Amino acid sequence: MNRVFAGLVATTFIVSPAFAQMLELEKDELTFGFIKLTDMAPLAVAYENGYFLDEGLFVTLEAQANWKVLLDGVIDGTLDGAHMLAGQPLAATIGYGTEAHIITPFSMDLNGNGITVSNEVWAEMKPNIPMMDDGRPQHPISAEALAPVVESYRNEGKPFNMGMVFPVSTHNYELRYWLAAGGLHPGFYGDGDATGQVQAEVLLSVTPPPQMPSTLEAGTIYGYCVGEPWNQQAVFKGIGVPVITDYEIWKNNPEKVFGITAEFAEEFPNTTLAVTKALIRAAIWLDENDNGNREEAVAMLSRPEYVGADEEVIANSMTGTFEYEKGDVREVPDFNVFFRYNATYPFYSDAIWYLTQMRRWGQIAESKDDQWYFDTAESVYRPDIYMEAAKLLVDEGLAPEDGFPWDTDGYKAPAPAEDFIDGIGYDGRAPNAYLESLSIGLKTGQKVVGSNVEG
């Protein structure tokens, strides 16, 4: 089910001649939105390498101020599609926040995030962290090391504030997951309460990704969870220390998606296929030759119209390493994954994980049966579109046949316990059983009422 295109990391896929076959496009002039993060790379690469043009698409890429503006743009048609938080199409479709039927035919990447704390918090955490023989901290670092720091702040009457990028972001759920795994309660969302701070020991709030380092430096927050390059930026500025990557929280976790409205996909099916083809080609390019194109990608992303951070900062994670404390550079070859491990396939089980986290923390107020999770995932994630695009690329000689999971039913094999920071495995076919296995979070029949959990 999860066949990996092993040859991708060893050799460039070359077939000659290979040409994209033009589909009969219903719409060929498109505007796509993105946020200034390195995982928008497939859009930049598809544009710069001419993959959109190969499909007959004339695309404009526009950076957006924040995730809400981006989602609103897709819903109102100002944008034809966008680089999205994986939780955004799901939340919109179920009516959490702005209601609209958003779908995704393409998952943009795996991993790519980190959790950073201020230098002061790091200094207080460090005595609680085991050291390796060479004197460096032993990774992964549990939030148990943060718990005494949070307690000391509470004893002094100071709330412990941390930032994440959006209420339905991977970053919110990863930060909550890490905190809860270490015994720290990150709070529930209640009826009409969008803060997510009911019963919280650590108070999480929204900060746009590019503003994370400056907000940390100002002391408004003591740490944050964000995508790159904004963890490495804290290291380069000397204001903070990334303590864990999301690869260490959940190995090869799903990250962003490409989102469009269901109406767009229905009205412009060939255009949707063409866009998906171009994005798949970009993902292949980003991972091929054992990440051999990453330096070129870094130069591309550093430009102000894309991410706009220094090449050195972007390269610190994009090229297979990650720097924790200043000078503590470690090999993390899978920190950013764009194609291998079937990264671009929109798995139903990935969608269901996000839905379980929404339920776990109260964004989904009432219990749902397993079938509800399956049905919701299938209404938003569209592997049928993805696989049709993949077949066209293979037929055209532009993608390797063994690069795609042709025999999958849309569900990954259960992720083993050792892949998670809390040692609890995940099976997308059993969402309620998974929720019951988590020590902190809402269980079947429970709901948040005021400041209490009832049921």
Query: Given this model, what pLDDT does residue 21 score?
Result: 74
Percent of the chain past pLDDT 70, that is, above it, reads: 96
Q: Which CATH architecture has domain 113-251?
A: 3-Layer(aba) Sandwich (3.40)
Across 235-244, average pLDDT: 97
Looking at 3-7, 58-62, 109-113, which range is the least confident one? 3-7
State yes or no: pLDDT of 318 exceeds 80. yes
State yes or no: pLDDT of 8 exceeds 60. no
Residue 22 pLDDT grade (very low, low, confident, very high; cuts 50, 70, 90): confident
Q: Are strands 161-164 and 336-337 parallel, antiparallel or unpaired?
A: unpaired
Report whether 380 contacts 93 (CB < 8 A): yes
Mean pLDDT (the chain, rounded): 94
**Listed residue (81, 15, 41, 93) closest to 275, CA to CA:** 81
Q: Spell 239-273 as b/e; 16+ CB within 10 A means b.
A: bbbbbbbbbbbbbbbbbbbbbbbbebbeebeebbb
Query: Given this model, what pLDDT does residue 16 score?
Result: 38
Across 378-389, average pLDDT: 98
Report whether 249 contacts 421 (CB < 8 A): yes
What is the pTM (predicted TM-score) of this model?
0.94
Task: Give pLDDT tens digits for 145-165.
Answer: 999 999 999 999 999 999 999
Across 202-227, average pLDDT: 96
Cα 297 to chain centroid, rounded? 19
State yes or no: pLDDT of 174 exceeds 80. yes
Query: Given this model, what pLDDT does residue 11 score?
Result: 34
State yes or no: pLDDT of 360 exceeds 60. yes
Task: Give pLDDT tens digits for 67-122.
Answer: 999 999 999 999 999 999 999 999 999 999 889 999 999 999 999 999 999 999 99
State yes or no: pLDDT of 39 exceeds 80. yes
Query: Given this model, what pLDDT does residue 19 score?
Result: 66
> Amino acid identity of 306?
Y
Between 15 and 212, the higher pLDDT residue: 212
Residue 12 pLDDT grade (very low, low, confident, very high; cuts 50, 70, 90): very low
Across 344-359, average pLDDT: 98
Taking residue 212's Cβ as centre, other Cβ atoms within 10 Å add up to 26
Query: Given this model, what pLDDT does residue 194 score?
Result: 84
Residue 256: what are its φ and ψ, rounded to 5°? -75, 165
State yes or no: pLDDT of 17 exceeds 70. no
CA atoms within 13 A on the CB side of 211: 15
Domain 6-111+254-403 class in CATH: alpha beta
Give the Cα separation of 3 and 408 in Å (integer).
Answer: 9
CA atoms within 13 A on the CB side of 405: 22
Burial label for 388, CB within 10 Å (0-12, 13-18, 19+), is: middle
State yes or no: pLDDT of 4 exceeds 70. no
Sequence spans of domains, the chain: 6-111+254-403, 113-251
Task: Give pLDDT tens digits for 389-447.
Answer: 999 999 999 999 999 999 999 999 999 999 999 999 999 999 999 999 999 999 999 99
**Listed residue (347, 348, 337, 344) closest to 376, CA to CA:** 348
Report whether 28 contacts 271 (CB < 8 A): yes
